A and B are shown apart, each in its own frame.
Chain A
Amino acid sequence: MRNRNLGRYAVRRLLMLIPIAFLISVVVFLLTSLVPGGAVAALIEGRPTSQGTVEALKAKYHLDEPLITQYWIWLKGVLQGDFGRSFQSSQLVMDSIRSRIGLTIWLNAIGLSIALVIGVPLGTWAAMRRGSSQDRTIVGASIFASSTPSFVVALGFLWLFGQKLDWFPLYGVGDGSFRDQMWHLVLPGIVMAITPTALILKITRASMLDQIDQDHIAFARARGLRERRVIFVYGLRNALIPVLTAAGLIFVGLLTGTVFVEFVFGLPGLGALLVIAVKNSDIPVIQGLVLVVGVWISVANLLVDLSYAAVDPRVTFRKVSD
């Protein structure tokens, strides 16, 4: 029964991706026509041009066709992995994205891992010592961390660890070997993790506090189970469900952090590509990146929802029945 519900829920959730993908594609396509003056203005960027050039540009990019036809042509291209070429570098957008996405995924994964490894234990610890000075220190630090913009920390770290102490390399990704690359990602990864750590800590602490008051915990204690077992097996396992609920928020936070961290540390990932594209109003690159981010978020939310449903059977029951 339960597996059937879960399966049905998964299918429903997957089917929902179709309208979402359509919506994303329309938004991305319409980006060009949102530029003041339209796509031609974006192409010529204020350079003096003749009428002939404008006509040629229009013909080349199919701008003289109706919007629906333009969308169809564009969509056919996108489905074959063709986002066009960057206005700035004439490089294929797909190639730049492909060569940079790995770094961004690594950076996000490192940031998330650090955030989980630090946030969950500290949140649990603070909840178990509720009201103590340790609890207050941890909570205070998390408020501090959640209000600290990543670019400020990035610059501070660059100065302190890169320059003053000289512990870590300053910029770039190193000589290409995997080890060196990872070494270059340590500092950026830590910076990435700061805000999500604070978020995870806050949620873990709050839901752990909730758990501690529950009857099943009191029962487990009354049965004489070891405190460690009570906390980790009965408390924490339930306390982590709210963290899973907030995972979408955490992914979005990480993604935003990537932009600043890559920019400051000179890392050639998607975030840095976005900054360059945005500064040059490089529409094809921006389009490609918006699409990647849209897909990224949809897939992340899908995975979060599915794992949530797998952990908590009430979800599938409710969502299937309504």
Chain B
Amino acid sequence: MTVHTKDQPVSLARRVVRSRPPFSIMVAFSFVAAVLVISVVGQALAGSANIQDLASVANPASGDHWLGTDRLGRDVLARVFAGTRTAVIGPLIIASSGLVLSSIFGIAAGYIGGGLDSTIMRTVDFFIALPGLLVAIVAVSVLGGGYGMAIIVLSIFNVQGDIRIVRGAAIEQKGLPYIEALRSLGVKRLRIMWRHMLPNVSPVLVADFAIDFALSLVALAGLSFLGLGSQPGTPEWGGMLAVNQAILFSNPLASLAPGFAIILLAVSVNLIGDWLYDKYTAPDRVRN
């Protein structure tokens, strides 16, 4: 945060400029928007992801194939575009469930406190000590269930950190005068939590949503990279990365391009999340 406070009154023009997000955040927003658009109209832009051209296998980038072709002669760009859908859906589910569950458990733990709080927090501590991605790897391989199972396991692990953060925000709110005023007016506990506290912790929830999205994007891609998660043959960024490692030296873009797509989307979403978090909460506080 580099806002310098000066003594003279701030002009309206400057206030408008100040409220505009920094350049990097605008770029991040544009990239996320582009990915969302491509996930809908990608096929129209780059053609089908499954057309094979066995005459041009593992070719480097050219005018016909901007990112070259993979081992089966499929256009890498078309597959990267087609992969946007899987890339977006899984993380959206995980982040949404994190949003809902953490607002319920986080606010309940923070506001009600007592035995409920310590039960919830002991559970959170337990899960946070475990390597979620490794558990997901083992669960998918032992229980089966592929992508769906991966999403379930990662959702369970993902929500724990959120609960801790939302609880912190709820405790902070609890000490504020407006809550005390509501209580002295005899407003029901549930109503205080739902109608008054939730809106006030929502900035934290939104920031958490973004960070969850980025983390689970990387985690799901990692599972597919190991050959778990999505079905073989599905255009999925992590899976492409792994399969195309075999042609890393003839067409490096075949595996590096989906890799960059993962990084750019994760960085964009993370930047947005960090920006929202800093904007609405005290700056420079350590998360977790």
Which residues of A come within 8 Å of B, CB atoms?
31, 34-36, 131, 136, 140, 143-144, 146-149, 151-152, 155-156, 158-159, 163, 202-203, 205-207, 209-210, 242, 246, 248-249, 252, 255-256, 259-260, 263-264, 274-275, 277-279, 281, 283, 286, 290, 293, 297, 301
Contact = CB atoms under 8 A, between A and B. Distances in A.
Contacts of A283: 142
A31 B129 CA distance: 20
A206 B228 CA distance: 37
B285 A252 contact: no
Contact of A255 (B134, B144, B263): B134
Interface stretch (B170-178, B201-209, B214-222): B214-222
Given A131-B1, A252-B129, A206 B142 contact: no
A274 B137 contact: yes
Nearest to A147: B266
Interface in B239-275: 241-242, 245, 248-249, 252, 255-256, 259-260, 262-263, 266-267, 269-271, 274
A159 B274 contact: no
Contact of A275 (B129, B140, B226): B226
A22 B175 CA distance: 41
28 contacts: A35-B143, A36-B143, A131-B1, A146-B270, A147-B218, A147-B267, A149-B266, A151-B222, A151-B225, A151-B241, A152-B256, A152-B262, A155-B241, A155-B248, A156-B259, A159-B249, A202-B286, A203-B286, A242-B286, A248-B129, A249-B288, A252-B131, A260-B222, A260-B226, A278-B138, A278-B140, A281-B141, A293-B134
A263 B226 contact: yes
- Which 8 pairs of residues, A with B, have the shortest CB-CB distance? A152-B259, A147-B266, A278-B141, A147-B270, A206-B286, A149-B218, A147-B267, A252-B131
B274 A143 contact: yes
A259 B270 contact: no
Interface range, B side: 35 or more
Contacts of A149: 218, 221-222, 225, 259, 262-263, 266
Given A147-B214, A206-B286, A278-B226, 9 more contacts: A31-B138, A149-B221, A151-B225, A163-B249, A203-B286, A207-B286, A249-B288, A281-B141, A283-B142
A249 B249 CA distance: 35
Contacts of A131: 1-2
A148 B267 contact: yes
A297 B129 contact: yes
B142 A35 contact: yes
Nearest to A205: B284
Interface string B1-40: 1100000000000000000000010000000000000000
Contacts of A256: 131, 133-134
Interface of B: 1-2, 24, 128-131, 133-134, 137-138, 140-144, 214, 218, 221-222, 225-228, 238, 241-242, 245, 248-249, 252, 255-256, 259-260, 262-263, 266-267, 269-271, 274, 284-286, 288
Contacts of B288: 246, 249
Contacts of A155: 241, 245, 248, 255-256, 259
Contacts of B242: 151
Contact of B241 (A147, A152, A286): A152
Contacts of A31: 138, 142
A101 to B, nearest CB: 16
A194 to B, nearest CB: 11
A144 B221 CA distance: 17
A286 B267 contact: no
Nearest to B252: A159
Nearest to B271: A143
A274 B141 CA distance: 10
Nearest to B263: A148
B191 to A, nearest CB: 33
A278 B218 CA distance: 19
Nearest to B140: A278
